[in-house]
A and B are shown apart, each in its own frame.
Chain A
Amino acid sequence: MSKPVVATTSLAGCFGCHMSLLDIDEKILDLIELVEFNKSPIDDIKEFTKPCDIGLIEGGVCNSENAHVLKDFRKNCKILVSVGECAIMGGLPALRNGIPVKECIAEAYLGVPSVENNKEGILPNDDELPMITDRVYPCHEVVKIDYYLPGCPPRAELIWEAVAALVTGNEMKLPYEVVKFD
């Protein structure tokens, strides 16, 4: 049997969830015995090269690029997992959700004290740039998400247990300490 294929991505997140994944230390060696990585910052594969079994998503959706990547993941992965608060609820980036996006852009490019030389009031609008969404969306509001791994970030063992459970089909052990939020 060929190894299950895993893809990962970081959308509107801080890369902390990926760091947590790497935190499994030497178990990462066990992990690559168990699964094969495809599109992921871990191996720097930029585009899907084959259909995947599991997609791990860090971060929510704050711009059009995030939305495209997420939809791409949905298309290419059998199972999608929202990993961490940002993916599940929008997390820290979603703090801007109560503020109109116009005000956020104005603050970032015009108002903030570190902006000194923008006398013409230029706002980034090149076609190459991702377009900012009106608010930060949790992943499940953009595509269907199959599982959620809570935490900020979820602990390394939790991610490991979850992937192992998905791969082996065994039930996952979820002791209270692993999912408590305080």
Chain B
Amino acid sequence: MGKSVKSICEEYNNDATRLMDILLEIQCKNGHIPDEAIEEVAKTLNISKVDVIQTLSFYHFFTRDNIGDYTVYLNNSAVADMMGRADVAEAFEKEAGCKFESLSEDGKIGLYSTSCIGMSDQEPAAIINGKVFTKLDPYKVKDLVLDMKAGKTIDEMVEKYGDGHNASDLVKSMVFNNIRKKGPVLFSDYETGTSLKKVTGMTPDEVVGIVKDSYLRGRGGAGFPVGLKWDFCRRTQSEETYLMCNADEGEPGTFKERVLLTEKPKLVFEGMAVAGYALDAKQGILYLRYEYKYLKNYLESVLNEMREANLLGKNILGKEGFDFDIRIQFGAGAYVCGEETALIESCEGKRGEPRNRPPFPVQKGYMDEPTVVNNVESLCSVVRIIEKGADWFTMMGSRESAGTKLLSISGDCKYQGVYEIEWGMRIRDIIEMVGAEDVKAIQVGGPSGTLISPRDFKRTICFEDLPTGGSMIIIGHNRNLLRDIVLNFTEFFIEESCGSCTVCRANTVILKDKLLKIMSGKAGKEEIDELKNWTKFNKMANRCGLGQTAANPILTSIENFREEYEKHVKMDEDFDTGFDLASAVEESCDYVGRKPNL
């Protein structure tokens, strides 16, 4: 190992709340986290070994075993499957000579699956040693594995760079932005610093007031009014306040944050600083998913640039006492860390298990201090609202959803990518905009959202009708909805559940088994409603949104595509347990030497 564990810990002041960063560095430098390192970390940070192990074991990208000189994490989301993941996976296995979830015999190449990596508009895609490889096919895989066998560096393996800043010296990535529609809020011209300058002439209350007047609602999914959240936070008396920007973007099919951070990082950071001013927060944290680690150097340099321009740091833009700075906290592969309280736990170096609420983060969040968590897009919108005024913002969109929304559109359509639209756009018009034909279904809002049928194509994207955090997956007529979509999503929730709540942990598996039974043709017609009945428990008895929405793929597909289920069940039987006497007695008859008489 290059740097010693001790010096890595030292870098983080031997602070146990920075355990995530410490483990990430060890994993990155060493390829895995060996037992000696665990012991050393525990000793240096003065915590117990199990404290280290419990954090380590929670996250997908931390491993205690060697996972190869070249580690391939191939996305297994529904969209990746739709775009040909199976062939790509087969090619990897053939060329590397090992199966997925294992290491090649010489220990050189490891093949692993991972949940959506935020590249749905350029699937199938994989992360190899931290770099993203998009639009894979069996031929490209062959070349890649040849490169690995020849010992090329990961940078040498990226042949062509993507557009915009993806091609910059600090990124050098083959990822494309695919910005298809630029709207007035996020992608129109803006001079960095304008809003920050403006707020220094206002009181924090005035800033909160403007954001309230704009009716800006959170873009992370839940749609909570941003100004109101800030107001609640300001009402909590405390020495310290924290502002967090949620860039975990784990909802399968979402990739808009990636594009904003690539092309508009200054807008994001300025939004954080404006929020910092309004909340009297000195520190902001950008919680960035591990999958986007290839943006690290670039984002750090943008932060430095902004510090040099006095847009961050001490006495920002000359305003006495306006101190605010930002650090980037990386995750390590866990969808649930996008949930705001899990995100806070993770920032404190712990397992990403959601907290009980109340208290809410605005009362007691990071380090038990009041904390506001806002989505990347929400904070970008704030900057433009301050610049142009609340009225400008409310003129756009629909009655309860002001402004614009950035959609990540993928699946069976010609123009996959991001679109900034005004809230209130009709699904039918979106279909036309993205060049989709013969659409069978659309998954609105990712797996936790709704699977809609053509009957709903007259509906509109907005909080009062069809809300979305931004993910839209278009599903064409040739797709097998239950296998390609519903089963994949249900397995996603099973994989990503943190396991705290019994219903989330167990019922989702029961639902999957019942779904598989229906798909196998062994179920009777009553079992569709029975399955639907079982989905109720997820809403009732889970702590966080993950478990509460984990039954949505099954629930909304039964509601909107009942015929897909009816195709599989025996319509002349109410119920069938699938019990097969012949196979149940086969072994014993064989052993005692008799022919089964059934």
CB-based contact B577/A133 at 8 Å: no
* Closest B residue, CB atoms, query A67: B581
Chain B residues, CB < 8 A from A133: 581, 584-585, 588
- Which of B30-38, B239-247, B590-598 lies at the binding interface? B590-598
- Is A64 located at the chain interface by the 8 A CB criterion? yes
Contact A123 B586 (CB under 8 A): no
Give B564-593 interface residues, CB cut-off 8 Å to A. Answer: 574-575, 577, 579, 581, 583-589, 591-593
Write the A110-126 contact mask toward B (1 if CB under 8 angstroms, else 0).
00000000000001111
**CA distance in complex: A63, B574 (Å):** 25
The residue on A at minimum CB distance from B574 is A144
Residue of A101, A126, A137, A143 near B588 (CB, 8 A) is A101
Of A102, A134, A140, which is within 8 A of B584 by CB? A134
Please measure, in the bound complex, the distance between the C-alpha atom of A141 and the C-alpha atom of B597, giving whole angstroms. 21
Q: How far is the CB of B510 from chain A (nearest CB, A)?
A: 13
- Interface extent on B, as a size class? 10 to 19
Is there an interface contact between A125 and B593, defined as CB atoms closer than 8 Å? yes
Report B-chain residues with C-beta under 8 Å of the C-beta of A64: 581, 585, 598
Q: A132 at interface (Cβ–Cβ under 8 A)? A: yes
- Smallest Cβ distance from B427 to chain A, in angstroms? 40
CB distance from A136 to the nearest CB of B (A): 10
A100 at the interface (CB under 8 A from B): yes
A123-B577 CB under 8 A given contacts A100-B587, A101-B587: no
Task: Provide the residues of chain A in CB contact with B586, threshold 8 Å.
Answer: 134
* Main SS at interface, chain A: mixed
Nearest A residue to B527 by beta-carbon distance?
A144
Chain B CB within 8 A of A131 CB? yes
Determine whether the beta carbon of B585 is less than 8 Å from that of A132. yes
Which residues of the other chain, A, contact B583 by a CB distance below 8 angstroms?
134
Per-residue contact bits, chain A 94-106, to B (CB 8 Å; 1 contact, 0 not) = 0000001110011
In angstroms, Cα B596 to Cα A64, docked, is: 10
State whether B579 touches A131 (Cβ < 8 A).
Answer: no
Would you list which residues of chain A between 114 and 173 have a CB under 8 Å from chain B? 123-127, 131-135, 137, 140-144
The verdict on A105 contacting B591 (CB below 8 Å), with A64-B585, A143-B577 known, is yes
Chain B residue numbers with a CB within 8 Å of A144 are: 574-575, 577
Q: Given the complex of chains A and B, what is the CA–CA distance between A70 and B446 in angstroms?
A: 44
Q: Are B587 and A124 in contact (CB under 8 A)?
A: no
Closest to A122 in B: B592
Contact for A101 among B575, B577, B591, CB less than 8 A: B591
Q: Whole-angstrom distance between the alpha carbons of A106 and B581 in the complex? A: 22
A57 smallest CB distance to B (angstroms): 14
- Bound form: Cα–Cα A131–B583 in Å: 11
- Supply 17 A–B pairs (Cβ within 8 Å), ascending by A: A63-B585, A64-B598, A67-B581, A102-B587, A102-B588, A105-B588, A123-B591, A123-B593, A125-B589, A131-B585, A133-B585, A134-B583, A134-B585, A134-B587, A134-B588, A141-B577, A144-B577
Given A101-B587, A125-B593, A134-B584, 18 more contacts at CB 8 Å?
A64-B585, A105-B588, A105-B591, A105-B592, A125-B594, A127-B594, A127-B597, A131-B597, A132-B588, A133-B584, A133-B585, A133-B588, A134-B583, A134-B586, A143-B577, A143-B579, A144-B575, A144-B577
